[in-house]
Amino acid sequence: MDYHYRLDNGCLHVSLDGRLDTESSIRFDAEFTEVCRNNPHGSMVIDAGKLEYIASSGLRTILKLAKSEKEFRIENVSPSVYDVFEMTGFSRIINIRKALRKINLEECERIGFGGNGAVYRVSEDEIVKVNYDPETYEGLDKELTKAKEAFLLGIPTAISFDMVDCGDGKRGVVYETIKSRTLGETMQNEPDRMEELTGKYVGQLNLLHSTRTDNPVFGNAKDYYRKQAEGAIRHLTEEEGKMLDMILEALPEGNRLVHCDAHPKNLMIQNGEMLWIDMEQMSVGHPIYDLISIAVILNGMRTDELILQMTGMDNATVALLKGCFIRRYFKTEDPEMIQKYSSMLDALRLIRTVFAIGFNSSSTEKYRTAIIEMARKVFFPNIHDIVGAVKSLTSVVDNILQA
């Protein structure tokens, strides 16, 4: 066996090539002890892409390394070597990542696209959601894990399979092929079913919000907003930063599952069943976080083209959905109450947009100045109404959950 190493920003990267058998394990152990001593570091990553075989003595050498490091992981492991790690239980105590399956996008049909990537049909039974930006790959990995954990909790989701290498530095997540349309597209094409479809939509939200979990995989919804606020205040005045803190203080904690991007384009309909997709932001929190994401689209957008791209619906269809949603979700037919809830949702819709000032994505960089200008015109001057809407709707939702 041969090995190579390099030190990069405090991380010692090690590539293994060949067979880590008894003889090579003894040599590697002795030599690499000196390497570690002469190269002070805070973490270690082992690339096992060319590791063909590992014996029990090699496993002990790996375990010794893992115990000596603060941060340690093995990546790009072949299926045969990964099977050894799994059978011996090493995959339970060490961060070990399989080599990614490779997919040639030139042989696949592109069936959708967005700001960060596209969706391709791999086969009759599989699609792959591809992200082009390497900065989003950690999010893809989280989405894959969250989708699997949500499925195990009984949430109807598209079945997810694995992370894949799509070539040219692109990565993606493979899902089962959903042989139908999104909820938004169905509402657009069958507006006469709006009452029925909205009722099922609300039912899916209720199922999601009735699910309690302390699984750390999902993270905390309020922490997501805290993180964005920390980024946003660098672009705002001190007084504006304090107003974001007012929103944070009003936003509740919670232990219920929330999607955090729960608009109708993120629900697919297959054989009459609704399935959640795009679960990267799925978290543990209070249902108010889903109401915020839904409020973003319920007021429509400047053009039909924009709202169609985001939700699969035009502005007229979204207006129909808004009335149905308020009546179904808040269980009221009182015109005065419907108007009251409509006004509160309108107040909520700007929260997500303004907190996005703290994003580091290229699209945010492009629109940050415009978002700040909008916030100074309509968000910060109405901060007390927005805080009041958050508190009022939180209380209303709590009552709905207890009913």
Tens-place pLDDT, residues 61-71? 999 999 999 99
Provide the pLDDT for residue 148: 87
**How much is the CA Rg of the chain, to the nearest whole Å?**
25
Q: What is the mean pLDDT of residues 298-314?
A: 91
3-state secondary structure of 310: helix
Q: Which residue has the tokens 């003894």?
A: 26
Least confident of 200-204, 280-284, 322-326: 280-284
Q: How confident is the model at residue 298 (pLDDT cuts 50, 70, 90)?
A: very high
Q: How confident is the model at residue 78 (pLDDT cuts 50, 70, 90)?
A: very high
> For the segment 4-52, what is each residue's pLDDT rounded down to a tens digit?
999 998 999 999 999 999 999 999 999 999 999 999 999 999 999 999 9
Q: How confident is the model at residue 125 (pLDDT cuts 50, 70, 90)?
A: confident
> For the segment 372-403, what is each residue's pLDDT rounded down to a tens digit?
999 999 999 999 999 999 999 999 999 998 87
Asked whether the beta carbons of 393 and 340 are under 8 A apart, the reply is no
Asked whether the beta carbons of 13 and 6 are under 8 A apart, the reply is yes
* Predicted confidence (pLDDT) at residue 118 exceeds the cutoff of 70: yes
- 271 vs 185, which has greater pLDDT? 185
Provide the pLDDT for residue 170: 85
CATH 3.30.200.20 location in the chain: 105-176
Least confident of 113-127, 145-159, 258-272: 113-127
Residue 212 DSSP one-character state:
B
Q: What is the mean pLDDT of residues 358-374?
A: 80
Q: How confident is the model at residue 115 (pLDDT cuts 50, 70, 90)?
A: low
- 144 vs 214, which has greater pLDDT? 214
Question: What's the CATH code, domain 105-176?
Answer: 3.30.200.20
195 class by beta-carbon count within 10 Å (0-12 exposed, 13-18 middle, 19+ buried) = exposed
CATH 3.90.1200 location in the chain: 183-402
Q: Which residue has the tokens 């499925």?
A: 151
CATH 3.30.750.24 location in the chain: 2-99
Q: How confident is the model at residue 365 (pLDDT cuts 50, 70, 90)?
A: confident
Pairing of the two strands 95-98 and 71-77: parallel
Provide the pLDDT for residue 13: 95
368 class by beta-carbon count within 10 Å (0-12 exposed, 13-18 middle, 19+ buried) = middle
Taking Cα atoms as reference points, which of 257, 268, 73, 264 lies closest to residue 149?
Answer: 257
The CA–CA distances, whole Å, from 190 to 71, 200, 274, 277, 308 equal 53, 14, 16, 21, 15
* Predicted confidence (pLDDT) at residue 181 exceeds the cutoff of 70: yes
* Predicted confidence (pLDDT) at residue 131 exceeds the cutoff of 70: yes
Q: How confident is the model at residue 114 (pLDDT cuts 50, 70, 90)?
A: low
227-239 exposure pattern, b = at least 16 Cβ within 10 A, e = fewer: ebbeebbeebeee
| Ranges of H-type helices in 88-170 | 90-93, 137-152
The C-alpha atoms of residue 231 and residue 225 are separated, in whole angstroms, by 10
Give this prediction's pTM.
0.77
- Mean pLDDT of all residues in the chain? 91
Asked whether the beta carbons of 64 and 28 are under 8 A apart, the reply is no
The CA–CA distances, whole Å, from 254 to 69, 109, 139, 166, 206 equal 35, 41, 22, 38, 15
pLDDT above 90 coverage of the chain, percent: 70
Give the domain 2-99 fold.
Answer: Transcription Regulator spoIIAA (3.30.750)
The C-alpha atoms of residue 82 and residue 190 are separated, in whole angstroms, by 49
Q: What is the mean pLDDT of residues 178-183?
A: 81
Provide the pLDDT for residue 3: 94
- Domain 183-402 belongs to what architecture? Alpha-Beta Complex (3.90)
Q: Which two tokens stand for residue 66?
A: 């893992």
Task: Compute how many other C-beta atoms are within 10 angstroms of the C-beta atom of residue 11.
Answer: 13
Provide the pLDDT for residue 177: 79
Provide the pLDDT for residue 263: 92
pLDDT above 70 coverage of the chain, percent: 97
Provide the pLDDT for residue 361: 64
Provide the pLDDT for residue 364: 65
Provide the pLDDT for residue 274: 93
The C-alpha atoms of residue 259 and residue 93 are separated, in whole angstroms, by 30
Helix-then-strand count for the chain, H and E: 15, 15
Contacting residues for 56 by C-beta, under 8 A, at least 6 apart: none
The C-alpha atoms of residue 51 and residue 57 are separated, in whole angstroms, by 14
Residue at 23: amino acid letter:
E
- 101 vs 132, which has greater pLDDT? 101
